[in-house]
Structure 1
């Protein structure tokens, strides 16, 4: 193993009581010989079937020997490193930062290998988190048959699910990922708790849609710098017009005009005025893809989870036509009949909670899009008209945007302009 001369008597670093007489695999080596460390800084990552743990440095100093490699199995008391506590400069280096990430985001952030560690997908130990290992066991999937598409060959939930759904064990095209900083932030492993110790429990498997959408949402929230612009739109006159048209069309049996149909039409108009809101970053984050089409998604809540059907060429369709497609796609979503084509190609998404309630929220951007509009329940509020307060129906708007592409001023102009269009539907014709 690697070693170097020490200035004094080196301090041994041994594996503490880990409660596993058979040993635990080493999945990451976080330091190299010559590195300066401080007390409690992580040196190695060990992973059992139930948990991932980081072995910290008991003292500060310079690493003069590393006695294990990725794939080795270590047990209680095993010697793993030597640290020279008499070396100079031991107090100048801070430990690696730790970010406390709340669920469900932590499940999607990967612990990235350092320069001293480069795990391979087909090494002695499959490189995967405890949650991914648990999923593989539940689906009866052999992790050694999978080539991980995560950074450093890490096996992801998507890799396991792909094989379970009949996909290839070794995808020919790896998942594209944004370039990460040279020294990525680390996070604590997901807690492994025996909840049955505290009382009776039931285990309910997530639906396939929930597993897929959950992983996507966690990735999007973790990797996209979200900012949310909150605003309100006066829809008093628009709501009166909408109800009037629906009464007139009631006998014809045509699809009812919903507020969402008007919102989609207005946003389609705005994507022409603010084209960045309908653009996408490329996989490396170096270029912005500007689109000459306006396809718009809407979040549909189903019994099996959240799905996002897409209506194409919204800018070329009437509000009535949009309402028909909304009704059709929502029906397919509830019946579980959406195809992959029904959910692809979106430029912008609207998530409406107006039929449920709430005053504001922070919708998560649907990558590779760069913006999403959230809508809450409209409420009557007093508005000053210059002489007196008047009761007006105000619609809460929550616009989340990718701050790498859109700045705050542009977001504020977008919601302000949307408010103008919704306040007077005739302006959509101009």
Structure 2
């Protein structure tokens, strides 16, 4: 038998390190060739690490959330044959693999036939009368969650059973809430407690959750954006009644199987392209370290999308070269890839301006955070039917707010307002979106 060390492979793109976000195995597991051992994250792309050999896991070299350099040992296995670790080679050192907390040892009486719980010379307090059903009432509010098993030795359990006491109602003062004889004595001495009508109980639990993987990437990106970009947010309401009528009409036609069902976003994307043509400095990235604004000809729109893992931003490239239905088809494809976790690094990078939308959950007004190092983000709020005055009477109209943020270092408030007003005009007169020139 030999040992085989698996090192973190080069995951491409010139990446020098990656964050370990998931272990699929533990020490002692038997794995086959190509069994997925772990998942690592680089930027926003998650890569699975398979085993190149068959063997038994002896050692895991990192914990969830650790940043591991390319080429560092991450797994050691016992394998048939010589393996790749020769006698005299240094054994890699790393923290022990994460283990579950050790279980408390149960107290077992010396004589199983005779419970060792109650000492004969010790006089036990008289238990309060049991309630119907054999269980003494301790009030509605229990000191532990429903279904949580109380920790106690067999001796304590025997005393409680003989006294008709439900141990779930007894607060424990020992480690992890373990119930001892003194806790049982105190509970009996208190007697029946008046139950709380509401059934509410205090919860003093504090849970520490390590920020790892995509959630850590999001946190770092948001912190960087808010720390370095002075935001200006501009909110304007848009009458999308005509746009919704047009969208419904186009969706009813369905002239070809290649044409997807249109949402509002492809119309907004095409409106942004026309507005950017008049203000190209909004389609840019600001390298504030170098003091350079990189203004792009191609309009690459990031679409902030919520997934089970967190917020990701797939990018529709070259929107200026796509018509309404092409935008819709690419949106659907990228949204599905983002939700399934199969989006590539290329599909999640390269945006020059971003749209953020929460759909029906979009609220009335939001203050979007710019996708650093971009200089603008367009926020879509929820659509509502509201009474609007047309000069003679109130009429129902479909209204929607655009809440948009801009980098005030490079975008003046006037330019921001002109940009949003141009998009508003195009959405309120949607036929203009299709007019070339």
TM bracket (short chain) = 0.5 to 0.7
Is 1:293–2:196 an aligned residue pair?
Answer: no
Deviation at 1:167, TM superposition (A): 4.5
Q: CA RMSD in A?
A: 2.8
Is 1:339–2:339 an aligned residue pair?
Answer: no
Aligned to 2:393: 388
CA contact 2:388–2:394 (8 Å) conserved in 1: yes
Aligned to 1:307: 312
Deviation at 1:168, TM superposition (A): 8.4
Deviation at 1:392, TM superposition (A): 1.2
Taking a change above 3 Å as real, the CA distance of residues 165 and 305 of structure 1, as seen in their structure-2 partners, is: farther
Aligned to 1:239: 244
Q: Decide which of 203, 207, 217 is 1:202's aligned counterpart.
A: 207
- Aligned pairs for 1:350-389 (under 5 A) are 350-389=355-394
Counterparts of 2:390 and 2:349 in 1: how far apart (Å)? 44
Gaps of 5+ in 1: 1-134, 140-159, 170-195
Aligned to 2:82: none
Q: Deviations over 1:264-284 (max 9, x none)?
A: 111122111111111122242
CA contact 1:352–1:376 (8 Å) conserved in 2: yes
CA contact 1:379–1:394 (8 Å) conserved in 2: yes
Q: Deviations over 1:339-362 (max 9, x none)?
A: 110122111000011232410101
Q: Deviations over 1:157-190 (max 9, x none)?
A: xxx9997254489xxxxxxxxxxxxxxxxxxxxx
- Aligned pairs for 1:142-161 (under 5 A) are none
Aligned to 1:282: 287
Aligned to 1:222: 227
Deviation at 1:232, TM superposition (A): 1.0
Is 1:419–2:322 an aligned residue pair?
Answer: no
Moved more, 381-390 or 407-416: 381-390
Is 1:401–2:403 an aligned residue pair?
Answer: no
Moved more, 384-393 or 239-248: 384-393
Taking a change above 3 Å as real, the CA distance of residues 274 and 165 of structure 1, as seen in their structure-2 partners, is: farther
Aligned to 2:329: 324
CA contact 1:282–1:288 (8 Å) conserved in 2: yes
Taking a change above 3 Å as real, the CA distance of residues 295 and 165 of structure 1, as seen in their structure-2 partners, is: farther
Q: Deviations over 1:199-255 (max 9, x none)?
A: 123344445111101110111011100010000111101111112222222984742
Aligned to 1:47: none
Is 1:264–2:269 an aligned residue pair?
Answer: yes
CA contact 2:65–2:213 (8 Å) conserved in 1: no
Is 1:164–2:169 an aligned residue pair?
Answer: no
3-state SS of paired residue (1:323): helix
Counterparts of 1:361 and 1:167 in 2: how far apart (Å)? 41
Taking a change above 3 Å as real, the CA distance of residues 401 and 198 of structure 1, as seen in their structure-2 partners, is: same
CA contact 1:233–1:418 (8 Å) conserved in 2: no
Q: Considering only CA atoms, is the larger Rg found in Structure 1 or Structure 2? A: 2
Taking a change above 3 Å as real, the CA distance of residues 165 and 348 of structure 1, as seen in their structure-2 partners, is: farther
Gaps of 5+ in 2: 1-18, 24-62, 73-176, 178-201
CA contact 1:295–1:311 (8 Å) conserved in 2: yes
Aligned to 1:19: none
Counterparts of 2:312 and 2:389 in 1: how far apart (Å)? 40
3-state SS of paired residue (2:298): coil
Counterparts of 2:393 and 2:247 in 1: how far apart (Å)? 27
Counterparts of 2:362 and 2:276 in 1: how far apart (Å)? 27
Q: Deviations over 1:127-154 (max 9, x none)?
A: xxxxxxxx99x99xxxxxxxxxxxxxxx
Aligned to 2:189: none
Q: Deviations over 1:56-94 (max 9, x none)?
A: xxxxxxxxxxxxxxxxxxxxxxxxxxxxxxxxxxxxxxx
Taking a change above 3 Å as real, the CA distance of residues 307 and 405 of structure 1, as seen in their structure-2 partners, is: same
Counterparts of 1:162 and 1:410 in 2: how far apart (Å)? 42
- Aligned pairs for 1:107-118 (under 5 A) are none
Deviation at 1:259, TM superposition (A): 0.6
